[in-house]
Structure 1
Amino acid sequence: MTTRRLATAFSLFQIISLLASTANLIQAPLLSSVVEKTINTGLKHASEPLLESPLYHHQLTLLGMEIRMIIFSATLGTVLGVLLTPAFNYIFTRVIFLFEEAGSIPRLIIILLSPRLLVKTLRKRPRYLGTLRASLPQRPQNIPLTFFMAHTIVTGIWTTGVLSALYAGALLPEYRSTASLLSGVVNGVATILSAMIVDPTAAMITDQALRGIRDQRDIRQMVYYLCLTRVLGTILAQVFFLPAAHLIKETAIIIAAPDR
């Protein structure tokens, strides 16, 4: 189902993206507290320099396992998101039409908070999944593979950026604030890659489909393979995790202690 209301859809998506960013802001302090507990436990029980203590190395191993479980949880969450994509596509389409009726976000929220109107809006079952499966080839056509490869790498960096920075802080306790704040640089690299390769290509394919230059099945292919590469990206984050942490650690040393 298409609405041909690209600007409206993009505007409403920004609200969802803002909510997701807020969730990440809540998650970051929780993860940081785990790292602080690891460092404090090592300081409390170590009878020698912290980084030379076998107990602290054991704590680092446990912390690394916890972070890998968090990344694995991100993979499971992404898979769940992929499975819910057809339903969300239908709901989001209905919300766009409701927004046109409401005329503003506050009125739209009031409509969505009405159980009767919400049931009326969602009572039809989405049929997008069957159409998506029927239109997919075994490999993407008319879409550059570099687009999907870049999306996989960008997702991997985004998934592990903050986590690797926090672990780097545990590897370098005296400069852990510097290491943690370098997560913004790591995610900035991913943002630049996305802005240069992923976003323009996705926008071009979408615009061409709206203008009739491309078949709309290309959009369905793109969505399907973006979902697939997002899952692969969270798996790739497991590979990026430790090398990124050590790279952030060395960068923090250069910034905070250049004479070390």
Structure 2
Amino acid sequence: MTAVIHLIDTLVYAVRLSGVTTRRLATAYSLFQIISLVASTANLIQAPLLSSVVERTINTGLHGSPMALVESPFYQQQLQQLCKDIRLVIFSATAGTFLGVLATPAFNYIFTRVIFLFEEAGSIPRLIIFLSSPRLLARTLRKRPGYLKVLRSSLPERPRNIPLAFLAANTLVIGIWTTGVLSALYAGALLPDYRSTASLLSGLVNGVATILSAMIVDPTAAMITDQALRGTRDQQDVRQMVYYLCLTRVLGTILAQALFLPSAYLIKEVAQFIAGQAHYHPAAIT
């Protein structure tokens, strides 16, 4: 599920390129919302599954040692295994992102044709009927260039014309978003008495990414896209931006491996502070 979520989140970059190519950016994003429903559904199922892994670790530790839970060597072994499991989840995010990068050129081509087909159909139900017809589907995909040709055409053909700070910020944003919830869940295992507090503090980590995204990543990407739509900027810059965004997204999921434990311990400390304040000042809660 993690791989599917990150694969779809990567393909959204191709949607921006398709929107600029067809000059139908609003339509492109609207159609992509149908595909993103798959990622949303996977997110709904993934969250309780991840929580159950943490709960199982805590419950196993409770039944496996008569000592204080956190001080128990047996529980420490369970924490090590949980750490490995979560790192595997982060790796699946990298794998899904990489698959999304490989699929981006072909998806861009197909999605561009679907945008025009949607204009012909006039509605989503009719579009679905069109795409379910082998004849119409073959017509939509006819004269499709070879994958290697499409992939080569997606590579930047000139020096980078995209701000370096924009790319660095996107790497950091993806890294934080990839590990935010996972770090909070692991912090709950490190602090089992206040695991609900720790789990709900994932916003503390993700908040940093949200600020960076709102101040640097999103405005810059929107500006480059709008300039290309107005004709004041070459469309190749959008293609180049998509290429670098895909690259930094992969790097961001790799960076998440390094951010995972520091973020978990930060959330643990904040949860302990909040729990201490609530204990000594219960009126503050009300």
- TM-score normalised by L of structure 1: 0.92
Query: What residue identity is the alignment partner of 2:178?
Result: T
Partner of 2:15: none
Partner of 1:130: 152
Matched, 1:140 2:160: yes
Cα shift at 1:69: 1.2
Matched, 1:154 2:144: no
Please give the secondary structure, in 1, of the residue aligned with 2:22: coil
Query: What residue identity is the alignment partner of 2:267?
Result: I
The 1:123/1:27 distance shift into structure 2, 3 A limit, reads farther
Higher deviation after alignment, 154-163 or 172-181: 172-181
Query: What residue identity is the alignment partner of 2:259?
Result: F
- 1:119-175 CA deviation, whole Å, 9 max, x = no partner? 332344245323223x434x522x210100010000001100111011011001111
Please give the secondary structure, in 1, of the residue aligned with 2:165: helix
Partner of 1:189: 208
Query: What residue identity is the alignment partner of 1:245?
Result: A
The 8 Å contact of residues 204 and 267 in structure 2, kept in 1 or not, is answered as no
- TM-score normalised by L of structure 2: 0.84
Matches for 1:1-260 after TM superposition, within 5 Å: 2-126=21-145, 127-133=149-155, 135-137=156-158, 140-141=160-161, 143-258=162-277, 259=279
Query: What residue identity is the alignment partner of 2:157?
Result: L
Cα shift at 1:105: 2.1
Root-mean-square deviation (Å): 1.8
Higher deviation after alignment, 23-32 or 118-127: 118-127
Q: C-alpha distance in 2, partners of 1:227/1:256?
A: 40
Q: C-alpha distance in 2, partners of 1:195/1:15?
A: 24
The 8 Å contact of residues 155 and 230 in structure 1, kept in 2 or not, is answered as yes
The 8 Å contact of residues 39 and 173 in structure 1, kept in 2 or not, is answered as yes
Cα shift at 1:227: 0.3
Please, which runs of 5 or more residues in structure 1 have no aligned partner? none
Query: What residue identity is the alignment partner of 1:149?
Result: A
Cα shift at 1:31: 1.1
The 1:132/1:151 distance shift into structure 2, 3 A limit, reads same
Higher deviation after alignment, 155-164 or 185-194: 185-194
Please give the secondary structure, in 2, of the residue aligned with 1:213: coil
Q: C-alpha distance in 2, partners of 1:235/1:172?
A: 26
Q: C-alpha distance in 2, partners of 1:161/1:124?
A: 43
The 8 Å contact of residues 154 and 233 in structure 1, kept in 2 or not, is answered as yes
Please, which runs of 5 or more residues in structure 2 have no aligned partner? 1-17, 281-286
User: What percent identity do the matched residue pairs reach?
Assistant: 76
Aligned length: 257
The 8 Å contact of residues 42 and 50 in structure 1, kept in 2 or not, is answered as yes
The 8 Å contact of residues 153 and 236 in structure 1, kept in 2 or not, is answered as yes
- 1:21-62 CA deviation, whole Å, 9 max, x = no partner? 221221111111111111010000111000000000010001
Please give the secondary structure, in 2, of the residue aligned with 1:228: helix
The 8 Å contact of residues 89 and 128 in structure 1, kept in 2 or not, is answered as no
Q: C-alpha distance in 2, partners of 1:124/1:161?
A: 43
